[in-house]
Structure formats: structure tokens, C-alpha cells
Structure 1
Amino acid sequence: ATETLTPSPLEPDPDAIAEIARLLAEAERPVLVLGSDVWMDRAEEVARSFAEEYRLPVILNGQGRGILPAGHELLVTRARGTAFSQADLVIVVGTPVDFRLGYGWFGGKDGAPLAKVVHLADAASQLTTHMDPAGAAAGDLSLVFWVLGTACAEAGVSPKAYAPWLAKLAEAASYAVAGDAGLLASDSDPIHPMRIYGELNKLLADDAVVIGDGGDFVSYAGKYIETKRPGNWLDPGPYGCLGTGLGYAIAARLARPSSQVVLLLGDGAAGFSLMDVDTLVRHRLPVVMICGNNGIWGLEKHPMQMLYGYDVAAELQPQCRYDQVVTALGGGGEFVTDPSEIGPALRRAFDSGVPYMVNIATDPSIAYPRNTTGI
């Protein structure tokens, strides 16, 4: 009798991969989205090689940030709006096609058809079910990229075909960077939250671990902090589980004893777990904590005002001295209200060698500019 061999569940379906390669060969404006599972599957190097071989514009998501370092010519995260609205093919790898990716609605700008969507995951159970993608495959993500690279060569995918599209996105990204320069250096009083990131970016080392725990304040971080290595960004995830930051910081400091560890806290998030600074102090784990303190639940207050014209249960104590909580627990800290003092305060925090809170009063009237509320 002839023995029938069942493919390993780690191996992607070759027919599905061939179809995805065909879609790439037909595309003129593709975008490759690399998410957390690419890093967690240890597929970051082969993913980067695939993108570079076929000259694909890349947008990074979650812990996929850093697979292409800040400044890489294929990294078009700062042109995200243009990329997603004008793409004709979006390949999403290692992340759910959820609200962070518009539930898979790409393209369609100026009467153009919606983009085709491909979803690649490390397990069939992780493939999207709320939509019917043009292509999908599951398997070990390193194998997926290796097999897809071979299939693209066989399908005649030409990197040169995407050059005009890549140039357009690079121009859009440069335009966005130039447009944001003013606010990243803003001297406004009260402090604009973007000024904090303008100062922080000057001080972050290549191996810095950046942790976001908050709403609007961390949304700015997601846009303006571009990590240089994969796995060096942590946040509350798609369900927005506030309060994870201190636990992440403790683990990051233990796992990366020689790296900068920076915890970005909204003032709402600080209220969930700030007492865990005691653990940092007792175990001598230096972490720089930056609190964007606007005295409100910004991610709730501003959408309620936009949708209903009023808000409820969205107020916090104005200019609460979270830094004094940290100093009471044995760490260091200070309160900043002058934008010119942000940089010096951050340098003192990094030089302190102790758990240190830079508590920065920011303007509560400023809402993070969203295209969707996720509803």
C-alpha cells in the first residue's frame, strides 16, 4: 500500500502560497504589514530579507516594530494613511486584522477599488474569519517567508515594478515628518504631549526597551517612537488592558539589564499599578517612568465629547503628584510644567540609576488625532 504523508502543520500550503505570489505579481501598490508574531516566531530576519529582496513598502505593528529599524528606506509607517488608502494589495503577517488595521478595509480612495487582502499567520486558528481574504496561509512564519520568496521568483515578481509606489510613499513619509517637526519642538504652555516625544527620541539608545501603558499619551508614542530593534516595544495590546506597564518594566529590566527601560504612563494607567514601584525599588531595578499627566481619561473624554457633546466619569485629579508616590516608595521623581525642562528632567532620570518618575503636566484640551474610534 502507498503511504500518504500528511504535511507538517508548520509548513504552509504550497498552493495557497503560490496564489499569494500571483497576487503580488499582479499588484502595483502592495504593502507588507509585519506584526508581533513575526518577532515572537523568530522570523524577523527572514521577513526583513523578503521585504528587501522584493522592495516592498513595510508598516510595522506591535512587537514587529524594529524589524526594519527607524530610517530604513522601506519603512513607510509614517505614510500609513496614504499606504492603506491607496494600496491595491495588503499582506498582513503575524497580527490580527482588527480595528488597528481597519478590519481589513484598505484602498478605495478616489474611486479606486478596495485593496485585496492577504493574511498570513503561524496557526490556522489565527487566520481572519470576519472577512474573505484574497489569500491566506498558516505555518511557521520563517517557512512562510522562505516558501513565499521562492514562489515569488517563480511567479515573476519584479521588485522594480513597485519603485514608483515606494517613491510616492517615501515622499509622503518625509512630508509627514516635516509637518510634525514643529509640534515635536513645541513651546506651548500647557505642554503639548508631542514635545515629550521630541525630547525622548534624542535620548533613546538603539537597544532601548519602550513600554506603553496608556491611551492617548501612548498613541502618540506608537506614532513617534520608532524602535530600532524588534521586540523592544510593549503595550497593553488590542484590548487596552491598562496597568500592565509596571509588570512589563520589571520583566524588561531583568531580561535586559544593560538596556534603557522606559515606561510611558498615562495618568489613568498610573493609577492601576504605580505601587509596584516598590518592587522596582526593593530589587534595585532602575526604570525611567514618564507620565503624561493631563488630568483626564483622554481616550474616553474626547470621543464622548465628539459623539455626544458631553462626557461622564472622565475626569482625574489635575496635576496629581504621581512623582511623589514614586519618591515615597524610595525612587526618584520630579514634576515638570515647563517644556524647556523636559529634556533636562529626562537626562536626570536616565542618569539616576534608580526607578525615576518624570511627571509631566500636559494640555488636557489636546486629543490624539484619530480617523476612527474603533466603533
Structure 2
Amino acid sequence: GQARGVLPRGHELLVTRARSAAFAEADLVIVAGVPLDFRLRYGSFGSKEAPARVVHVADAPEGIASHCALAASAAGDLAAFFTLLAEAARPGGDPAWLGRLRAAWRASVDADADLLASDATPVHPMRVYGELLKALDDDAVVIGDGGDFVSFAGRLVEQARPGRWLDPGPFGCLGTGLGYAIGARLAHPSSQIVLLLGDGAAGLSLMDADTLARHNLPVVIIVGNNGAWGLEKGPMRAVYGYDVAADLRPGTRYDEVVRGLGGAGEMVTSPAEIAPALRRAFASGVPYLLNVITDVDAEYPRTTTGV
């Protein structure tokens, strides 16, 4: 996650939305600084007929994958690795392949346009991000703490600078968001700090808004409130046809919790309310929670339901 922004949004080589196409067609993949886990197909790239060679790079030997065949590996200082790689690399590449990836990236962006502007009620989560992306500064720090709601952010939020995205990591350890927000506000006193919470994740750490209020640490908190553990509810329905213990109380007033702790907030129930509510939140100078009632049936589209 911390690599987001190394190539800033708009960079000609940034084709993250075409990652699936790139992985499927690649003949060589270098993975640096992250494990070869479910997010990266456990190290399986290319096709069955032409599997890609994989080079795994980590900051310590124990971080190198042992569950799959590697063409090469390296452990140590990642900056030194990339410096040496850049010195050894020959100019060139395949302009036609890059062009295909750019076309796939553009098609993915275009396909999202209608939902980013959706007027549906309950609010589609994509509309929340359609408005948020227009309000973010280049140096904003965006923190994700949640399942389905934050999955949309992971796909849509492209940072302009590195070190401006934080999330629970590959194990999805929910509850990290408020602590991250406190640290981010202290580290970046003049930047926008935005914390994205699912309503499930809000139940794990929202009381730490008390710390934000007592220490005068303004953070904009956006809760995607669909009354469910969406990351569990959707896959259970897909696999079994029903879901168990995945529902939360509808319409919980998380905004009133933050107000009671010394901050501010409001409930948002329609798409037209999102943009003005964001303006009020960023201008407030206090911890401010937007409690957005979202559509429980608007789940994040996934190609897998787990391991």
C-alpha cells in the first residue's frame, strides 16, 4: 500500500486498473517488498501455456516466497536493488503492449463513470468516491479500514505522492483506522486526513475519536453504512445462497457517537448531500464523521470468494 503514489496518478506508466491484463500477458514479473499472497495470485502469472518467470525481492531472506518456483530472488536493501536494476536495464520495451494496457485501463475507468455519478438511493458506494476524489488535495492522506466499502477505495483512489495511503494490510486486521488517523494527523499537520470506515470496522475502534477530539486532531471520517458485514454477506450469498450473522443494525448513528465525544458529524442519505457534506467536514477543523447510508446490495465485484 505504501507504494501507491510512487508513480503518481496520470503518469504514462501507471496502468494499475489494467493489472489483470498485464499479469496475464507478462513473461517476467518482478515483485518487490510484498508477499506473493492472494493479492498477487500466489505468484502465478502469465498463462498455463506460457507462465511468466517470477523474481521475488524482499528486505530480508525470510520474506522470500518458498511456495512457488522463482526465476530469481534477492533480499536486502530495496532501494539498492532498484538502483542496480535501473543501471542494468536496457532502454526499450514493447510500445504496443503498453498501448494495449493503457486501452484496458481507459476502458475500466470509462466503465465506472455511471456509478461514480449514480443518483441511486440508498447511495451506491461508488458515488461516495466519485465526490471524494474531486475533493482530495494532492498531499491528502487516505486511510482505509473496512471490507467491502474500502475495497472500492482500493480500486479508485490513486495517490499523487507516495506514503499517502494506509490500509489494514493483507490480513485485513480491522480496527487500525483510528490509530492510523491519529498518527497521520500528527505527521502531516497541514494535509487533509481522510479515514474510510465500513460500519463493521467502525464498531472496532470508533471510540478513539475521543482521542482525536481531546487532542484537537481534525480528521474527516466517512462511514459507508450498509448495515452489514458486506465482505462476508456477499460471498456467503454467492456460495451458499444465504448468509449467517452478517447483518448489523440498520442506520446506526455513528455521527452522533463522534458528536458525543466532542467532534461533529452528520448523516447522509442521498447522493446530492455528499459533496456539500464533504465541504463542511473539511472546513470544520474538528473530527467530523459523515455517516453515509449505502446500498447493502451494491457489493464490490470480486472474481474470487476466498482461498
Q: Could you say which TM-score interval applies, normalised by the shorter chain?
A: over 0.9
Task: State the shift of 1:104 in Å.
Answer: 1.1
Q: Structure 1: how far apart are the matches of 2:19 and 2:126?
A: 18
Pairing partner for 2:22 from 44, 66, 83 = 83
AA aligned opposite 1:96: P
For residues 99-138 of structure 1, the aligned pairs below 5 Å read 99-108=38-47, 112-138=49-75
* Deviations 1:220-268 (CA, angstroms, capped at 9, x unpaired): 0000011111111000111111111000000100111000000000000
Pairing partner for 1:277 from 204, 209, 213 = 209
Pairing partner for 2:289 from 357, 368, 373 = 357
TM-score, normalised by the number of residues in structure 1? 0.80
CA RMSD of aligned residues (A): 1.0
| Structure 2 alignment gaps of length 5 or more | none
Task: State the shift of 1:187 in Å.
Answer: 0.5
Q: Using the TM superposition, name which of 332-341 and 87-96 deviates more.
A: 87-96
Q: What residue is the counterpart of 1:242 in the other structure?
A: 174
Q: What residue is the counterpart of 2:233 in the other structure?
A: 301
Q: What residue is the counterpart of 1:205 in the other structure?
A: 137
AA aligned opposite 2:29: V
Q: Structure 2: how far apart are the matches of 1:151 and 1:203?
A: 41
Aligned: 1:65 with 2:7: no
Pairing partner for 1:150 from 87, 110, 116 = 87
**Structure with the greater alpha carbon radius of gyration:** 1
* Deviations 1:273-324 (CA, angstroms, capped at 9, x unpaired): 1111110000000000000000000001111111111111100011111001
For residues 35-74 of structure 1, the aligned pairs below 5 Å read 62-74=1-13
AA aligned opposite 1:75: L
Q: Structure 2: how far apart are the matches of 1:183 and 1:116?
A: 37
AA aligned opposite 1:124: P
Give the number of aligned pairs. Answer: 307
SS at match of 1:319: coil
* Deviations 1:172-222 (CA, angstroms, capped at 9, x unpaired): 111111111111111111111000001000010010000000001000000
Q: Structure 1: how far apart are the matches of 2:204 and 2:78?
A: 36
List, as ranges, runs of 4+ consecutive aligned residues in structure 1 with deviation greater than 3 Å.
none
Task: State the shift of 1:121 in Å.
Answer: 1.3
Q: What residue is the counterpart of 1:23 in the other structure?
A: none
SS at match of 1:202: helix
AA aligned opposite 1:115: A
Q: What residue is the counterpart of 1:92 in the other structure?
A: 31
Q: Structure 2: how far apart are the matches of 1:364 and 1:150?
A: 50
Aligned: 1:141 with 2:78: yes
Q: Among the aligned pairs, what percent are the same residue? A: 65
SS at match of 1:325: helix
Q: Using the TM superposition, name which of 347-356 and 77-86 deviates more.
A: 77-86
Q: Structure 2: how far apart are the matches of 1:224 and 1:148?
A: 30
AA aligned opposite 2:39: R
TM-score, normalised by the number of residues in structure 2? 0.98
Q: What residue is the counterpart of 2:262 in the other structure?
A: 330
Q: What residue is the counterpart of 2:305 in the other structure?
A: 373
Task: State the shift of 1:134 in Å.
Answer: 1.2
Q: Structure 2: how far apart are the matches of 1:162 and 1:293?
A: 45
Task: State the shift of 1:150 in Å.
Answer: 2.7
* Deviations 1:94-138 (CA, angstroms, capped at 9, x unpaired): 111111111111121xx6412211111111111111111112111
Q: Structure 2: how far apart are the matches of 1:150 and 1:231?
A: 25
For residues 193-232 of structure 1, the aligned pairs below 5 Å read 193-232=125-164
Q: Structure 2: how far apart are the matches of 1:125 and 1:147?
A: 22
Task: State the shift of 1:81 in Å.
Answer: 1.7
